[in-house]
A and B are shown apart, each in its own frame.
Chain A
Amino acid sequence: MAIRIAIASGKGGTGKTTVATNLYYAINEASKDEALLVDCDVEEPNDVLFFPDVKPGKLTTVNQEIPKIDTSRCTFCRKCVEYCEFNAIVIIPPAEFAEVNPSLCHSCGACLVACPSDAFGIQNESIGTINRYLDKAGKEILEGRLKVGSAMQTMMIRSLKKSIGTSEKIVILDAPPGTSCPVVETISDANFVILVTEPTPFGLHDLKLMVTLVRQLGKPFGVVINKAHLGNREIYGYLDAEHIEMIAEIPFNRAYAEQYARADLFNMIPGEIRHAHRKIKENLSKKGLIR
């Protein structure tokens, strides 16, 4: 199985995508190791924006199986309502009304088991697409794109991860912000997690939440401090006290912020930034995760 490296943060906008895309770029540029980039921020996927030359490849629709009640068979016994832990089913016996609300349904299948009258069918409802892109060198980038209005981001990430092939040696998983189930789904099978943060009170607070989570999941992890020197020094004391490894510091550089803004991350990288990203790669290779 490929080595999986997840990039996560807690707080949004700390630089997950910058770290993930630079790592992908550096691995594929330097060695024969083939890295696959997987954009798991399915609510707002934008890794591909940084690769303007990519060609869109195969597009797969992800469907959620929504149970549908056949009212001609339904006896309105409400057993399915009792089974449904997500309050997704409405049955009104006097009106002979029986319906599943797709936006609340988790597709767990409990209602299908509950129904004594075989009144349930299945209807597929699209929750988004899995998009494959090929970059210039023929390397693949995978992206999950949740349909706007869908609340099924975790299911989307699960499907996205199932579509990862077996040919790559290294899989880079770019996680969504936050600390809840979509993040867990993304990092759950990672061999290593890079937590990207910034040295500000918001960055530190959300980093602590992420550290609690990755420790509960028993994942090895290290921290990258982005926009270094912008805030205060408190984060360094925290990392020391908690014996957390600092993999690299990426200095704040206004010129590079402008490059980021126009989605141009790999040309004319300022020396200090290039150095920081090289350090991240070297660190992973010292750990034996990449060559």
Chain B
Amino acid sequence: MKEITIISGKGGTGKSTVTAALATIGSNLVLCDSDVDAPDLHLVLNPRVMESHIFEGAWVASIIQELCTGCNICSEYCRFDAISLNASGKLHIDPFKCEGCRLCERICPAGAIQSVKSINNAWYVSETRAGILTHANMGPGEENSGKLVSQVRKKAKEIAREKGSGILLTDGPPGTGCAAISSIAGADAVLLVIEASMSSLHDAKRMAELVDQFHIPLYAIINKFDIHRDISAQIEVFLEARSIPLLGKIPFDESVVQAMVSGQSYTEYAPHSELSGIFHSIWNQLANP
């Protein structure tokens, strides 16, 4: 089994659109949406949830006001500026700033601080027309997206092994931080979706540097390449210099949005189009390198 993670650095370059288009070409696949912050793949794949699990997030501390003596030691020790006086002059912990280290709870001389695990996250195993999909719903503002990413990927890998699937296709998050790192660590190949813009090229360079640190084979495609052909050419120069194979160039086409609106992947929406031909060629190169 081979895990291919689709990633971009910059957001909105077309990761989920590409993932859905490839997922509905391949067969015997397992899919994973590791963009737990803002998951979108399910909007195209219309999953039927078979299993749903609560994912315990980080600890969140709160002050038991009846026991608090107002000594302020907790706020002096808190490295996250999460503890301050509220409008009524009482010490208060901002749950969004609390990182769940529980140091305040341990040092409070009055035993006035308690922590509970956030249960604001859930993850699912679902059936879709393109294969089994593992995905998640993260509570807004949650701390642990990296751990939730690891969870959905771990489950997807288990399922892929059990089912003897050849390929696990993972739709990754934007950025290079903890969610992106958790999405590519241990993958077998990474597909970088770059759009023809200076920002996307800038971000792709950082992404390539990150993937290098993990020694994972990296491939690229240029999306909306004809929005700016000169920049697209600059991207090709960069890929060439870094020996990153370019698997295809996808033109800008407003009907890509229409496919999304109709709840279909592009290869389902317009199977005989030029664009779908490009997606097929990308898939063939990825699946049979």
Contacts and interface: CB of A to CB of B under 8 A. Distances in A.
Nearest to B209: A148
A165 interface: no
A257 B8 CA distance: 19
A12 B174 contact: yes
A180 B10 CA distance: 17
Q: Give the most central of A41, A44, A108, A188: most B CB within 10 Å.
A: A44
B199 A17 contact: yes
Nearest to A151: B178
Interface string A237-268: 00000000000000000100110111100000
Instruction: Give the bracket for the number of chain A residues in contact with chain B.
Output: 35 or more
Contact of B203 (A44, A86, A200, A212): A44
B254 interface: yes
Contact of A200 (B11, B38, B178, B260): B260
Interface string B1-22: 0000000111111001000000
A176 interface: yes
Contacts of A188: 94, 96-97
B154 interface: no
A51 to B, nearest CB: 12
A122 interface: no
A230 to B, nearest CB: 5
A115 to B, nearest CB: 13
Contact of B80 (A108, A213, A263): A108
A152 B178 CA distance: 7
Interface stretch (B98-106, B162-170, B242-250): B98-106
A164 interface: no
Interface stretch (B47-55, B142-150, B268-276): B142-150
Interface string A5-30: 00001111110010000000000000
A113 B101 contact: no
21 contacts: A11-B11, A12-B13, A12-B174, A13-B11, A13-B12, A13-B13, A41-B175, A44-B174, A44-B203, A46-B202, A46-B203, A108-B101, A151-B181, A152-B177, A177-B37, A177-B174, A200-B257, A202-B260, A216-B141, A261-B196, A261-B231
Interface of B: 8-13, 16, 37-38, 40, 43, 58-59, 77, 79-81, 94, 96-97, 99-103, 106-107, 138, 140-143, 145-146, 173-181, 195-199, 202-203, 206, 209-210, 213, 227-228, 230-231, 252, 254, 257, 260-261, 263
Report, nearest first, the 4 A-B pairs whose CB atoms are least far apart.
A12-B11, A13-B12, A108-B101, A178-B37
